Amino acid sequence: MTKSNRLLWIASLIFFVFLPPALAVEEIPQALHQVLEEAQTRMEAGDYREAARLLDDFQENQKFQHYLLDFIRGNAYLGLGQVSRAKGLYLAAIQKKPDFSPAHQNLARCYFESGDMTLAASSFESAYTLSGGKEPDLLFYAASCLSSADNFLGSLALFEKLMAAHKSQTKLEWKEGMAQAMLGAGLNRKALPLLEEIAGEATGARKRQWQEVLLYQYAELGMGEKAIAYVHGLLDEYPSEPLWWKSLWRLHLNQGQHKEALAALIAYSFFQPLTVEEAELAGDLYAVSGAPTKAASFYEQALANQQDPDMVLKLVDNFRRMRKPQQALEWIDKAMTQGQEKAFTMPRAYVLYDMEEYAQAALAFEKAAPQAREPGQAWLMAGYSAYNAQNLTEARKFLKIAAKYKNTQQAATRLLGQIQPMEDS
């Protein structure tokens, strides 16, 4: 869960206290009791502005000092979104009555709203302590705020305290928060048992989210076989879920298990159209498994959406392996008309050689040689092509150039030795 999502999640859980028990049981002046109840009624109806006006007028006219007046005024301003003013009123209430837990709780909400998670955590923890430990969610809020402040070790300490003190009341939310703190603190391996427990308890979209987290942790911790076994279990339960098939082929790929990765990728394609990158990967995996026809099919699928020179070269290579040079030549010529001539000059020469168009191949290799990564090889192939075209003069010229390069010197010299008697005869 990202920090922004975690904040939204915490905000959805935290509430602020409206009517404290003290208002019902504490003996307070009748005038104060009356205005507080009236203000409370207005707030319950959603009219925070009128509630604030009533309380402000009372404060101005009566010059009255009481922690409950500060507290209820704080609620009115918090309801109006005036967090800073509400914060000051809660602090005033706490100064008058330090053990008043609801003021600490609502002050924590103010700190939370203003983004000060450390102070929010401190106020929530104070409210929990003052409640006599009867409101464990307050400690949960404190721990969650520390996580949002990236104080994961501090958060984890509070979660451990919460779980120990309220074991029989443990909620899924508490476990989720503790797991996030453990992951944030880098205690990923230690978090695994808790993550497994959460993934088993959660339901719906929440369950899937934690299954993804658990699977990711298995993979990141180098537990590849454990991760694969876990995905197989998920697929037994959700056989048509594309996410788990995608996870499976990625895991097999990371393990270097190309055959298994390919099988999972093809299964994935039945439920989710392959992206260009995924179609290319399928082509690559078929190619290394010795299935050029299948490889070519996926490369063509990928190239239908995106022209990529490297992918065209892979397709050409597979057509050559399939002994279909004409199709290879068509793809090369198409690519060369799109301004990619340099990348395809040498491959085109090889395809012409495959087609036994030796005279054209000789010219193509000659053209490619000056810019080739291995010029000697290009000149050598030009010599072979000219030789097969029975153009011995050109063959001799090309081979002499090839003989100047260390990696082709031996082959070029050998063929030159065969040409010389032929020319003499």
- Lookup: tokens for 57: 């007028």
Is 196 inside a domain boundary? Answer: no
Phi/psi region, residue 290 (left: phi>0; alpha: psi -120 to 50; beta: rest), is left
Rounded Cα distance between 298 and 58, Å, is 78
DSSP letter, residue 272: S
Mean per-residue pLDDT, 284-302: 96
Mean per-residue pLDDT, 193-213: 96
User: What CATH number should be reported for the domain holding residue 414?
Assistant: 1.25.40
DSSP 3-state assignment of 129?
A: helix
Q: What pLDDT sits at residue 5?
A: 54
Rounded Cα distance between 88 and 79, Å, is 14
- Band of residue 4 on the pLDDT scale cut at 50, 70, 90: low
Contact predicate 145/112, CB 8 Å: yes
Q: What is the pLDDT of residues 317-376, one digit of tens each?
A: 999 999 999 999 999 999 888 877 888 999 999 999 999 999 999 999 999 999 899 999
Contact predicate 49/106, CB 8 Å: no
Q: What pLDDT sits at residue 425?
A: 53
Q: What pLDDT sits at residue 2?
A: 52
Is 56 inside a domain boundary? Answer: no
Cα separation values, 216 from 180, 198, 213, 233, Å: 14, 14, 5, 15
With 90 as the cut, is the pLDDT of residue 76 above it?
A: yes
**What ranges make up the beta strands (E) of 145-219?**
none
- Band of residue 26 on the pLDDT scale cut at 50, 70, 90: low
- Lookup: tokens for 29: 């002046």
Q: What pLDDT sits at residue 21?
A: 53
Cβ neighbours of residue 382 closer than 8 Å, sequence gap 6 or more: 349, 361, 362, 365, 366, 369, 394, 398, 402
Note down the domain range covering 402: 356-425
With 80 as the cut, is the pLDDT of residue 25 above it?
A: no
Q: What is the pLDDT of residues 79-91, one digit of tens each?
A: 999 999 999 999 9
Mean per-residue pLDDT, 196-205: 96
Mean per-residue pLDDT, 239-243: 96
DSSP 3-state assignment of 1?
A: coil
Cβ neighbours of residue 114 closer than 8 Å, sequence gap 6 or more: 83, 84, 87
Is 363 inside a domain boundary? Answer: yes
Rounded Cα distance between 223 and 237, Å, is 21
**Closest C-alpha among 118, 147, 136 to residue 10:** 147
- Lookup: tokens for 108: 């924590």
Give φ, ψ of 57 to 5 degrees: -65, -40
The percent of residues above 70 in pLDDT, for the chain, comes to 93
Give φ, ψ of 211 to 5 degrees: -65, -40
Is 318 inside a domain boundary? Answer: no
Contact predicate 172/209, CB 8 Å: no
- Band of residue 15 on the pLDDT scale cut at 50, 70, 90: low
The DSSP string of 256-267 is T-HHHHHHHHHH
Q: Nearest-5° angle of CA 407, CA 411, CA 415? A: 150
**What ranges make up the beta strands (E) of 6-62?**
none
Cβ neighbours of residue 405 closer than 8 Å, sequence gap 6 or more: 374, 375, 376, 379
Is 380 inside a domain boundary? Answer: yes
Rounded Cα distance between 309 and 233, Å, is 40
Q: Which is higher by pLDDT, 123 or 419?
A: 123
pLDDT averaged over the chain?
91
Q: What is the pLDDT of residues 84-131, one digit of tens each?
A: 999 999 999 999 999 999 999 999 999 999 999 999 999 999 999 999
The domain total for the chain is: 1
Q: What pLDDT sits at residue 93?
A: 95
Of 21-30, 115-124, 134-143, 302-311, the one with minimum mean pLDDT is 21-30
- Lookup: tokens for 308: 């990529």
Cα separation values, 262 from 107, 229, 271, 326, 413, Å: 57, 17, 15, 28, 45
Is 405 inside a domain boundary? Answer: yes
- Lookup: tokens for 39: 């203000």
Q: What pLDDT sits at residue 60?
A: 85
Cβ neighbours of residue 215 closer than 8 Å, sequence gap 6 or more: 227, 230, 231, 234, 247
Contact predicate 102/20, CB 8 Å: yes
pTM for the model: 0.79
Rounded Cα distance between 24 and 61, Å, is 24
Is 422 inside a domain boundary? Answer: yes
With 60 as the cut, is the pLDDT of residue 150 above it?
A: yes
Is 388 inside a domain boundary? Answer: yes
